[in-house]
A = this chain, B = another copy of it.
Amino acid sequence: MKKYCFGIDVGGTTVKCGLFDVKGEVLDKWEIHTRTENNGINILPDVADTIAAKILEKKLDREEIAGVGIGVPGPVDEEGNVMVAVNLHWGYLQLTEEMEKMTGLPVRAGNDANVAALGEMWKGGGAGYHNVVMVTLGTGVGGGIIVNGKIVTGSHGAGGEIGHIHVEDSMEESCNCGNKGCLEQFVSATGIVRLANKMLDESDAPSVLRNGPVSAKTVFDAVKEKDGLAAEIAEQFGKYLGTALAVIAGVVDPEVFVIGGGVSKAGQVVIDYIRKYYREYAFSGCKDTAFALAELGNDAGIYGAARLVLD
């Protein structure tokens, strides 16, 4: 009878770690430093060590541990091999196989954005649903697609790469991915600043946004204060993202869209602008699909990673 599982979220600076019971209650939560030097050769041994230490500390019976789930910042295939993880200085790595050897426990691995989506489905904004699309609006735009409770990994590990779907032909600046006109260039925190600066340049309208540095937060704060120009920026943001989510609904038709990341901290107003355009462009059967804010914040990754080993 399995009672426990570990959820590990490997980031470029810290590795977040969680010990969970199999119902999804977090029993302990801690972090270790991510040692990226020497091509990140120490990262997996460090994770194995901290797990071994926790097993000792908590006097866990290994027979009662379902396994270790790991999310990493890069594409991961169905067999748990990492293609590349730039921020960890990793190239190709048989992650699942190596971690199983080091820990002596069953291991499952996934891309961090996908794993976060699974976490939100399990215990966050998507709880109670099994078909979820999560969008993380941070410095970039991450995504995760869950169909019937399982991550859609994709045949090149690019399932849920919705930050890089093409939304604008007229964009001349290149995205980090090399293409032009990606969703991320308009609706990430950085993208919202780009939209805002362009609109502030092109308009003479007064706005509180002219008083200081612009960020996604100042834009949505100004929207809440009924600033006209800020509202126009939010409309553009909502049009790009709402239309993109309507397209996604025509592909996988989820039960719920979960909106997370720093931009989502502005709250319901973000969903209101997205949903306005979503409803305009979504296929008739999907217009009433639910929207929810993410609830787990930076812990979504450890929840989702733990969930990986419980299938």
Contact = CB atoms under 8 A, between A and B. Distances in A.
Nearest to A246: B166
Contacts of A158: 249-250, 253, 283, 285-286
Contacts of A150: 148
B131 A161 contact: no
A73 B253 CA distance: 18
B251 A251 contact: yes
A283 B251 contact: no
Interface in A137-180: 145, 147-148, 150, 152-162, 164-166, 177-179
A285 B75 contact: yes
A97 interface: no
Given A177-B284, A255-B155, A247 B247 contact: yes
A248 interface: yes
Contact of A159 (B177, B252, B280): B252
Interface string A272-311: 0000000011011110010000000000000000000000
A165 B246 CA distance: 7
Nearest to A249: B158
Residue among A78, A145, A159 having the largest count of chain B Cβ atoms under 10 Å: A159
Given A253-B159, A286-B156, A247 B281 contact: no
21 contacts: A131-B155, A147-B152, A153-B253, A154-B254, A155-B253, A155-B254, A156-B253, A156-B285, A156-B289, A158-B250, A159-B251, A164-B250, A165-B247, A165-B251, A166-B247, A166-B281, A177-B284, A178-B284, A179-B283, A247-B247, A251-B252
- In the A-B complex, the 5 residue pairs with the smallest Cβ-Cβ separation, listed nearest first, are A154-B253, A165-B250, A166-B281, A158-B253, A156-B285
